Amino acid sequence: MINKRIILSISFILLLINISCKKNYNTTGNGLIAPPDFEGKLYDQSKVVTYDTAIDSVLSTNLPVNAIGEWEMSPFGTLKADLSTTLALDPFFSADSLGDNVKILSAQILIPFFAERIDDNGTEIIVLDSVYGTGTLDIKIHELGYLLPSYDPATNLEDRRIYYSNFDFTDHLITKIGDTVDYVPSNESYITYQHTEDGEIELDENGDPVVLDSLGPHFRVKIDTSFIRHKIFDRAGDFVLQNRLAFQDYFRGIYFEISGKTADGKLMMMDFTGGKLNIAFTHEIVDENGTPDDTSDDEVITKYDEANFRFDFPKVNYYQNHFSPVMQEALNVSDMINGDERIYVKGDAASGGVVRLFDTQELNMMKENGWLVNHAELIFYVDENLSSDYLPQNLILFDKINEKLLLDMADPDNVSVDNALFGGFLEEDEDGNKFYRFKITQHIKSILEHEAVNVDLSLRVVSNPTSYIQAYEYQDPDNYNPLGVVLYGNKASVLEKRPKLILYYTLPNISE
């Protein structure tokens, strides 16, 4: 049952896909950091250049959260998210022992929504989490004809195979096995009932259905029972139903094809590891009445049963972004040399920012004067006139050229239970201005004091920042976060909202 305890257990995973209305900001003065505990000179006039860049794909293998849907998010455009997944054999299902008189009562896809029970003036209601948009969806479920191996044949099956979000499966769809039109998620609990042996719902003395369990809200789509009979039950005794690999080579998976119908569409973030193909059926068994050696009292009886083929690894999202005219124009005219007026940073496979710190003259001046950096922060302000109400709670900054973490993020000392000293969290200053702040002291020190190359940096939405830090190494962003934010760039007309690199430094004490 989905309850608060379960929701809390996954809340860290979903940190970045909660909407920005959760006023969980830190307050600073006018967007600038408070003076540090040490003595030092302040320098906040550094040259910062920022520009937009498109992102073709992101890591899309075995994410803790997957999306399906089609959703328009202003001002970025429309994201279409399809999904392919393999199925695992039900370890308790044996088609060989069912006999010939199998009757399939129902087949359906079941996936739990993220949801929470809250008190609304004394009435408990269920609220869906991580469902975006006000429109409806058309959903088609296909049999997938493409084999999705978990391990990469190119590495002699020693490494897991990596899939990216631009992997198009549409040429590998065999047949449609289920669909639903004008789909709208429901916050009603999914109720399971006790069944009689012949498959009917059992009734109590008052004539009411006997409830077996009350689960949280579920995504549900019916699957064609004739397909299930042909694909699974008619293969009783075959090798393809004997082990996991043989089954997945035979039934290679299912594919969710999504189309938005009205208004801004709908996007649903769900934990597909909890998804399954549920099949309810009856079959006949012989009751020996406790006398296995005497067949005269044998009786053929009907038995109700269910099989659950759970979603298995790998699960791969296929993202298609259709940029709005505003977004497309921003990418088309992006100025890599002089920078842009705004930075469009969006999750999934959409767009990010590139950041260049210092110009040559400024950098030479700092080095020649022997600046010793005590503290460094980089701040980006949100353009709240263009950004929507759905803001990512975290951005990430990393070395674009070498594709690795900055020293500040790769330092184990920067990891704590509920935060990272590196920053990147959405904050709000005392005037209500929203911004993201990165603490990059070690990165700046490496440039000024240790002759490290002043590389360009990538600015991206990230789904789970702490996983990067705990790994102490760069990972390609596994971005299941669909949210985006528009930031002011270095060419912004609002001068005080331009990106700021703030340095506290000391000069060396050189004796005469």
9 has a pLDDT exceeding 50? no
**Where does the pLDDT of residue 44 fall: very low under 50, low under 70, confident under 90, or very high at 90 and above?**
very high
For residues 63, 65, 68, 69, the Cα torsion angle rounded to the nearest 10 degrees is: -130
| Arithmetic mean of pLDDT, 148-173 | 87
Nearest 5°: phi and psi at 393? -80, -15
Q: How high is the pLDDT of residue 4?
A: 39
Q: How high is the pLDDT of residue 104?
A: 97
Q: How high is the pLDDT of residue 23?
A: 34
287 has a pLDDT exceeding 90? no
**Where does the pLDDT of residue 28 fall: very low under 50, low under 70, confident under 90, or very high at 90 and above?**
very low
End-to-end CA distance of the chain: 75
CA dihedral sign of residues 497, 501, 506, 507: negative
Entry pTM = 0.86
Do residues 266 and 69 make contact, with C-beta atoms less than 8 angstroms apart?
yes
CA dihedral sign of residues 254, 260, 261, 264: positive
User: What would you measure as the largest C-alpha separation in the chain, in angstroms?
Assistant: 114
SS3 104: strand
CA dist., res. 409 & res. 419, Å (int):
12
SS3 track for 179-193: EEEEECCCCCCEEEE
Q: Where are the domains of the chain?
A: 4-57+324-506, 77-320
pLDDT tens-digit readout, 214-230: 999 999 999 999 999 99
With a CB cutoff of 8 Å and minimum separation 6, the contacts of 116 are 4, 7, 126, 127, 129
Nearest 5°: phi and psi at 190? -90, 115
Q: How high is the pLDDT of residue 153?
A: 77
Do residues 235 and 247 make contact, with C-beta atoms less than 8 angstroms apart?
no
The residue among 379, 498, 506 whose CA lies nearest residue 448 is: 506
pLDDT tens-digit readout, 244-274: 899 999 999 999 999 987 778 999 999 899 9
**CA angle at 231 for the pair 229 and 234, rounded to the nearest 5°:** 55
Q: How many residues does the chain have?
A: 512
CA dist., res. 419 & res. 465, Å (int):
10
pLDDT tens-digit readout, 141-160: 999 999 998 888 778 877 88
| Arithmetic mean of pLDDT, 147-175 | 88
pLDDT tens-digit readout, 111-144: 999 999 998 888 889 999 999 999 999 999 999 9
pLDDT tens-digit readout, 435-447: 999 999 999 999 9
- Which residues are paired to 214 by β-bridges? 191
CA dist., res. 279 & res. 399, Å (int):
49
